């Protein structure tokens, strides 16, 4: 079975978590989506780059989620979510490219 690239997992987790929270009006449900995708991404990052890479990108993932909130006040919710998701995908790709 082909693997889903970790940059895509991270980006989909951020966008999907927000989308679920917004459309269901249940923030905890969005958090479940965010956390599940984050867990899968961290596992992939660990397999590809080791514990330090997984920890660093995991912190970046949480930081992207947290950073989307103040950014949303400036540029709007969806643009903020897409911005941090794109940034997280790029960071993941840069750190893990050529590994694994």
What are 25-67's pLDDT values in tens digits? Answer: 999 999 999 999 999 999 999 999 999 999 999 999 999 999 9
CB burial of 67-88 (b: ≥16 within 10 Å; e: otherwise) equals: bbeebbeeeeeeebbbbbbebb
In contact, 9 and 37? CB cutoff 8 Å? yes
pLDDT computed for residue 4 by the predictor: 86
Domain map of the chain by residue range? 7-96
* pLDDT given for residue 1 in this prediction: 55
CA angle 33, 37, 38 (to 5 degrees): 115
């Amino acid at each position: 079975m082909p693997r889903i690239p970790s940059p895509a997992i991270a980006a989909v987790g951020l966008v999907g978590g927000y989308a679920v929270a917004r459309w269901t009006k249940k923030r905890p449900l969005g958090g479940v989506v965010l956390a599940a995708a984050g867990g899968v991404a961290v596992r992939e990052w660990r397999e590809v780059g080791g514990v330090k890479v997984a920890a660093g990108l995991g912190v970046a993932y949480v930081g992207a989620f947290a950073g989307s909130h103040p950014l949303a006040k400036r540029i709007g919710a969806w643009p903020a979510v897409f911005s941090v998701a794109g940034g997280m995908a790029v960071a993941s790709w840069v750190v893990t490219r050529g590994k694994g």
